[in-house]
Amino acid sequence: MTRGHTVGVIGAGMAGLACARELAAKGFDVTVFDKGRGLGGRTATRRAEPNLRFDHGAQFFTVADPLFREVTDDWLARGVVAEWIGRIVRLENKTVIDSSRQPRYVGMPGMSAMAVDLAVGLCVRTATQITAVTHSAVGWTIVTEANETVGPFDTLVVTLPAPQTAGLLGSHHFGAVASNVKMTACWTVMAAFESRVELPWEGAFVHDSPLAWVARNSSKPGRAREANCWVLQASPEWSAAHLEASADRVSKDLFEAFAAVVAGPMPSHRYVVAHRWRYGQCSEPDERRMLFDPKMGLAVCGDWLAGGRVEGAFLAGIKAADAIREHRDQELRDS
Ligand SMILES: Cc1cc2nc3c(=O)[nH]c(=O)nc-3n(C[C@H](O)[C@H](O)[C@H](O)COP(=O)(O)OP(=O)(O)OC[C@H]3O[C@@H](n4cnc5c(N)ncnc54)[C@H](O)[C@@H]3O)c2cc1C
């Protein structure tokens, strides 16, 4: 019934792909656009030579919602994700405190695996940055960085971090909503060592340090243990204070902070690279999950409307898809 209704989805992170997949399953004609070369947005996996892999964005995800539980169980059954059993601690005042034992899941063999799975069978255009969107009587038209005009689409779904959503939707009311949402930066260092770093845990929430989180990436299931890969993530405060610092400077500073955490002999490193997430996480997410303007056929969703995490982003995408489908069904009944 809904075949022929076209939807353009901007962003191939968890929100965009969950939305696109749900709509495609209901017969909508969906095209997804992402500026990145790969899929997953902030559920990212960085590959580096030789044979190094780092989850430099989201570290793991947890599950609370029954629908996301169902999806995660299916991913577990098919080997798309696995539980990370490693010991996770908090480091506070030189004390090691075990963190809660709630199940933590990771993509296999990297955090982008969930996005790759969601995208199967979808029309996704990667390496396509959208620079403008316009609405007219025929629907939504999208302009790419290469100045290509795509569309029109009956419905547009924008799933970018809040500041980028605001930039794209400028004059629309949703642009104004997005412009009021603050997102914190996160400097992340990916480091590989010649041998094992001797610490009695696999991941730690760090206090009283430039670092907020460190993880033995190689301890996650499906990763090569002998690669000795670590991910070191700075606190929002430190990242904000060093937002425009050079990647080399940041690598050096955060590496030193890690040495202080290890507080003992460290094997020599063979790879250290820093990555800046300018719009890393949302400190005070709105909880509406998505915004929908049925008159214009515009939906906005993403983690900044849904708890600021992987699970929230996924559920936001599904909720946006539900709203679009319900509206379309109503239109069909009315016509
Ligand atoms: C360092 C870090 C650590 C984190 N750790 C965790 C964690 O451990 N657990 C957890 O649950 N969550 C974590 N998160 C949060 C989690 O990654 C996000 O909540 C979730 O991935 C957001 O998904 P999304 O689809 O809303 O947005 P995104 O993943 O950001 O997707 C948006 C997409 O839009 C694309 N895009 C942007 N602008 C344009 C444009 N103009 N044109 C085309 N495409 C565009 C981007 O390339 C991106 O792929 C972390 C995030 C960061 C940065």
231 lines ligand 1 (CB under 6 A): no
177/188 same-domain check: no
> How confident is the model at residue 100, as a pLDDT?
79
33 lines ligand 1 (CB under 6 A): yes
Question: Per the omega criterion (within 30 degrees of 0), is the bond before 236 cis?
Answer: no
Task: Centre a 10 Å sphere on the Cβ of residue 74 and count the other Cβ atoms it contains.
Answer: 12
What is the best residue among 22, 32, 34, 42 to mutate for testing ligand 1's pocket, by most ligand atoms within 8 Å of CB? 42
105/195 same-domain check: yes
pLDDT in tens, 187-211: 999 999 999 999 999 999 999 999 9
> How confident is the model at residue 2, as a pLDDT?
43
Ranges of the chain whose pLDDT falls below 50: 1-3
189/310 same-domain check: no
41 lines ligand 1 (CB under 6 A): yes
Q: How many domains does the chain have?
A: 2
42 lines ligand 1 (CB under 6 A): yes
pLDDT in tens, 80-109: 999 999 899 999 988 999 987 889 999 999
188/178 same-domain check: no
Q: Give whole-number Cα distances, 303 to 51, 144, 237, in Å.
A: 31, 24, 20
Q: What is the pTM assigned to this prediction?
A: 0.96
Residue-range definition of the domain harbouring residue 206: 45-110+183-283
User: Is 157:8 a contact under the CB 8 Å cutoff?
Assistant: yes
